[in-house]
A and B are shown apart, each in its own frame.
Chain A
């Protein structure tokens, strides 16, 4: 047969049109309401943190890729998403150098050292945030009550989880769950805009960019664990709704824990991952020295992803007994 001027390849010869950028650009879009509420509450300083984080994450990505001799892929938007998620967890007046350090460490060590997008075992934004959180001289900057002391936004300027930690559930009478849900609470720039984060998260789920299992089970895990604590002592431990509408739970459920490469992809793996993230969050909120435990819970569970990947919905071979005629059997059949 004579070759013609044709393209050849394996199938499929059609494609759905999905792109890597679908994930990152839609995440940016889904976070716009949360950014808007952050800007509304904290003004230009919030814009500064967001801008610095996104820019330094992208620069870090480009610099590392140049250094490692890889093609520069900042246009795929994944570094921008990491930067943005980092910024949304931080108080509005975090010093710029801290933001830069977190973004660089998150991208350079948390992502590029492991091979870049898809190969990172931990979410870069969470790595950056965790480094800031455990760096002793900077602890005060991440304490929302200290950091946001100069703001008066017309609602209680105490960080709800810090109040819970200090005085137990009985000290929470200032907080109304509905108000907290509407975002009238101090906290990270975007993480505290609960209703906006939820809206963006539901958009991501509806687009199929975030699988519903992880967010649902994350919230369920928080609900279960906090209900158990509540059953033991309702004066000391806050109820499940309070836990869900405060701190980083909402952004954690929809955006932090669902980072593609640091989450499992099998249904039962995702269910277990979400449940454990949620429950560990509550356990850390109750027993750790930190008021919130979402980021550490997500980081911890991400380390278990290779194990969770082994949880399968069904066994590989879903077929009943099959006949197998081997060459030997055929030869025997022929001779007999």
Chain B
């Protein structure tokens, strides 16, 4: 009730977490699972039984980069289709305790003077995601370093900002040269503005962003503080002009490049249940989520939900063997009673979805067109602009699965264009 409801276009207030959540290291998993999006088992260049090193490229020659984050023996090569309709190549590795590092990642002593091409190549080779578009020729107008988490119930970025403040400035200068960005913006949550004290004003423009969902999503940051559109590589090529890099990846780059080591450890915020206490753990990429849950003493409730990457736009898993990836920020377990049930109710045209949509889409119409497979109308209404933030679902009084419908329409249209 009140002002927020009065002006229906104000999004509902879903704040990001602010607390200081110390990071605890998790032991190396006995078996790690590595995922390679958009690839098939045939693209994998190693065979079952092979020994692999940490940082080794597991892709067959010419197929790209698929970096191992552990050392050990390949036990399984498989495939699966993710919730995002992307096919993944899966490699299971039985790990060994002591890492042996692949020698192809070279350390760069002098980050200030190394040539940009070498910096960029090393960043990509060290396993940081999201930079592929740059080697394919995309230009970065604005580089945004985001110290905001993407989702509520995540406490990764504030923690990194507290613990690794010294590396931020060096990282910004390095990444600016590596990407050739014309402008650098550091996005800081409004409630921890002092965190930006150590960053030189000459280096980057510092903007305070209200720490409320969806302000931390790359698409929203790019629209509000960047050059317009976040860089994104899809099946139809690359679009965008703004590169959004999380602060965790930024400080990770600094240490990885200095030491010549791959990016293998990721901070993940775990939450036993909605509203429960948050816990930050440092996990090896490839660790199954079950290990993180064991560490928390959380039992998976039958019929409950396991959500990775946040309650709003995260994805739910069908298995507790789902591994952590370089972009996994959080793990949330929901009791069956907490699980939101969708209904097949007809749209009542209340218009709340359109009012909260950060992309100003007519979600009420899109949902109905998609429901009845009228996809050309969806394209007319700009469904491809949907950033899948989930706010429409959050506010829908008819409990319609709007995100499901919109994502379905996007996928169908995308596949049509790919076919052409």
Residues of A within 8 A of B65 (CB): none
Chain A 322-336, CB within 8 Å of chain B: the 1/0 string? Answer: 111111011001000
B243 CB → nearest A CB, Å? 12
Nearest-neighbor residue (CB-CB) of A118 within chain B: B348
Q: Are A309 and B365 in contact, with the CB atoms below 8 A? A: yes
By a CB distance below 8 angstroms, the chain B residues around A20 are 345, 348, 397-398
What residues of A have a CB within 8 angstroms of the CB of B399 in the complex?
15
**Interface size of B in residues (CB-CB distance below 8 Å):** 88
With both beta carbons as reference points, the residue of chain A lying nearest to B133 in the complex is identified as: A325
Interface size (A, Cβ < 8 Å)?
56
Residue of A nearest to B390 (CB): A12
Is the C-beta of B120 less than 8 angstroms from some C-beta in chain A?
no
Where chain B touches its partner, the secondary structure class is loop
Given A14-B394, A16-B395, A326-B237, are A119 and B388 also a contact pair (CB < 8 Å)?
no
Q: Which of B48-56, B93-101, B317-325 contacts its partner?
A: B317-325
Determine the distance from Cα of A20 to Cα of B397 in the docked complex, in whole angstroms: 5
B186-228 CB mask vs A (1 if < 8 Å, else 0) is 0000000000000000000000000000000000000100011
A314 CA / B396 CA spacing, docked (Å): 22
CB-defined contacts of B14 to chain A, threshold 8 Å: 14
**Closest A residue, CB atoms, query B2:** A206
- Chain B residues with CB under 8 Å of A323's CB are 138-139, 238-241
For A316, the chain B residues whose CB sits under 8 A away are 359-361, 381-382, 385
Nearest Cβ on chain B to A309's Cβ, whole angstroms: 7
Nearest B-chain residue to A328, judged by Cβ: B237
B313 & A18 in contact (Cβ 8 Å cutoff): no
**Min CB distance, B26 to chain A, in Å?**
19
Q: Which residue of A lies closest to B354 (CB)?
A: A265
Contact status B360-A18, CB under 8 Å: no
Q: Which residues of B contact A260 (CB under 8 A)?
A: 348-351
What A residues does B307 contact at CB under 8 A? 13
Across the interface, do B349 and A267 meet the contact criterion of CB distance under 8 Å? no
CA of A318 to CA of B394 in the docked complex: distance in angstroms?
Answer: 23
Contact (Cβ within 8 A) A119 B382: no
Q: Write the nearest CB–CB distance from B190 to chain A, whole angstroms.
A: 22
A and B contact pairs by CB, cutoff 8 A, 19 listed: A3-B319, A4-B306, A6-B304, A8-B317, A12-B311, A12-B393, A12-B394, A13-B307, A14-B14, A14-B312, A15-B399, A118-B348, A206-B6, A208-B4, A212-B6, A265-B364, A317-B382, A325-B137, A325-B237
Binding site for A on B (CB under 8 A): 1-2, 4-9, 12, 14, 33, 80, 83, 90, 133, 136-139, 223, 227-229, 236-241, 274, 300, 302-307, 311-322, 332, 334, 336, 339-340, 342, 345-352, 354-355, 359-362, 364-365, 381-382, 385, 388, 390-391, 393-399, 401, 403-404, 407
Known A1-B322, A8-B83, A317-B382; further 10 A-B contacts with Cβ < 8 A: A7-B336, A10-B403, A10-B404, A12-B340, A12-B391, A20-B348, A23-B348, A266-B351, A323-B238, A324-B237
